[in-house]
Amino acid sequence: MLLQNKQVAIVGGGPGGLTLARLLQQQGAAVRVYERDRSRRERVQGGTLDLHDESGLAALRTAGLLDAFRAHYRPGADRLRLTDKHATVALDQHADASADTFGDAAFRPEIDRGPLRHILLDSLQPGTVVWDSQLVAVQPLGAGWQLTFQGGATATADILIGADGANSKIRPLLTPIRPFYSGVTIVEGTVYDSVQNAPQLHALTKGGKIFALDDAKTLVVSAKGDGSLTFYTGCKMPETWARDSGIDFADAAEVRAWFRQEFAGWDKIWEELFASETTRCVPRPQYCMPLDQTWPAQPNLTLLGDAAHLMPPYAGEGVNMAMLDALELSECLTCEQFPTVQAAIAHYEQHMRQRASAVAQETLEQTERLHAPGALGYLVELFGAPHGSML
């Protein structure tokens, strides 16, 4: 095997990095995952994740974790309501009596990020993840790499894989290509104890998702298993709006005042998102890697997930792409097809970039359509079609 007597370092303990670690360990590879969080329970943010049969679920099947996923996914969390700014429901999947099942290509079961992370962590050998490892420097060391972390700790590896997201510290070692701004900025937030703090939206969400579209803006609300609601506003903004606005996004009152102005004419129900002083928001300008990006394959270095092909979330492919990257990279590194690690990486990267380019094109088109007049009608038609899906 190409990885015999080689130490693999994966920087980043998200779904992509952890899936890769599991798949490589199944084949006997020596793997360490370096994660900046101080523990497995420190920071589990974001909404629910819908896994697709041909990508995220395929990776879990190969990893032998589909039964664990079945035990922890949230039936019904994939059901969607489409509304206008007045919260008038235009399409309601909760009224659909059909029951998709595992093995159906259209079935996209949802799971919260926390349970998915625990499934993957529990599948790894003890000591695989090195917590509290904030990478600050990487430099060549012989035929491999030396990693230096905040606090001065170091590690070495023969093969280095960047699974460290949008602000990857590994990517610049491979290419200077940077992402471009998509034109849309998201404001992300969480409402804890939604029964108490957002009762009308809790009822409207019905344990699933709401997509509200109007005035060339989007508002997505997702229920989580812990009783919270995560939400994302989407607006066309200048790239530096978040920095230049002067808004303290940790102050719910300031964000609420911005929302009332930016979403003027929207129903008062949406203001429940900002009613609790415990709500904390984060502005996220949305970027995308160039569709034609390329770089020469290296003998001991590669990327997966957002580090490789960052894109906006409006096609719902982020975590699925990362987990499929992990599956394909693991297969390339552990099969007998390639004479060298570099040849295996080259094959993986060529197919990964082609696949990501096609999805990024679709994502950019979706991003534009959802932030343009007529977006609600477009989505109603899309989701009303057989097997219609976006996120």
The amino acid present at 158, given as its one-letter code, is D
Say if 7-43+125-178+292-367 and 180-288 have the same CATH topology. no
What pTM was estimated for this model as a whole?
0.95
The residue-averaged pLDDT of 192-218 equals 96
Query: Would you list which residues are annotated within the binding site for NADPH?
Result: 43
Domain 7-43+125-178+292-367 has CATH 3.40.50.261: no
Residue 69 has pLDDT above 80, yes or no: yes
Where do the domains of the chain lie?
Answer: 7-43+125-178+292-367, 180-288
Spatial distance between the Cα atoms of 249 and 284, rounded to a whole number of angstroms: 11
**What pLDDT was estimated at residue 45?**
66
Cβ distance 276 to 191 under 8 Å?
yes
Residue 57 has pLDDT above 90, yes or no: yes
Question: For 287-327, how does the pLDDT look when each residue is reduced to its tens digit (9 = 90+)?
Answer: 999 999 999 999 999 999 999 999 999 887 899 999 999 99
What is the percent of the chain with per-residue pLDDT over 90, rounded to a whole number? 88
Looking at per-residue confidence, does 73 or 388 come out higher? 73
CATH of the structural domain 180-288, one choice from 3.30.450.40, 3.40.50.300, 3.30.9.30, 3.30.530.20: 3.30.9.30
**Least reliable range by pLDDT among 129-133, 153-157, 178-182, 314-318:** 314-318
Residue 389 has pLDDT above 60, yes or no: no
Query: Would you list which residues are annotated within the binding site?
Result: 43, 50, 113, 306
**What pLDDT was estimated at residue 143?**
95
**What pLDDT was estimated at residue 386?**
44
**Cα-based distances in Å from 39 to 13, 131, 149, 170, 215:** 11, 6, 16, 22, 42
The residue-averaged pLDDT of 9-14 equals 97
Residue 260 has pLDDT above 70, yes or no: yes
Question: For 279-290, how does the pLDDT look when each residue is reduced to its tens digit (9 = 90+)?
Answer: 889 999 999 999
| Model confidence band, residue 387 (pLDDT cutoffs 50, 70, 90) | very low
Cβ distance 115 to 76 under 8 Å?
no
Q: Measure the CA angle with vertex 317, ends 42 and 73; round to 5°.
A: 55
Task: Calculate the CA dihedral of residues 186, 192, 198, 203 and round it to 10 degrees.
Answer: 100
**What pLDDT was estimated at residue 96?**
76
Query: Would you list which residues are annotated within the binding site for FAD?
Result: 50, 113, 306
What is the percent of the chain with per-residue pLDDT over 70, rounded to a whole number? 96
Spatial distance between the Cα atoms of 324 and 211, rounded to a whole number of angstroms: 27
Residue 139 has pLDDT above 50, yes or no: yes
Half-sphere exposure of 289 (CA within 13 A, CB side): 28
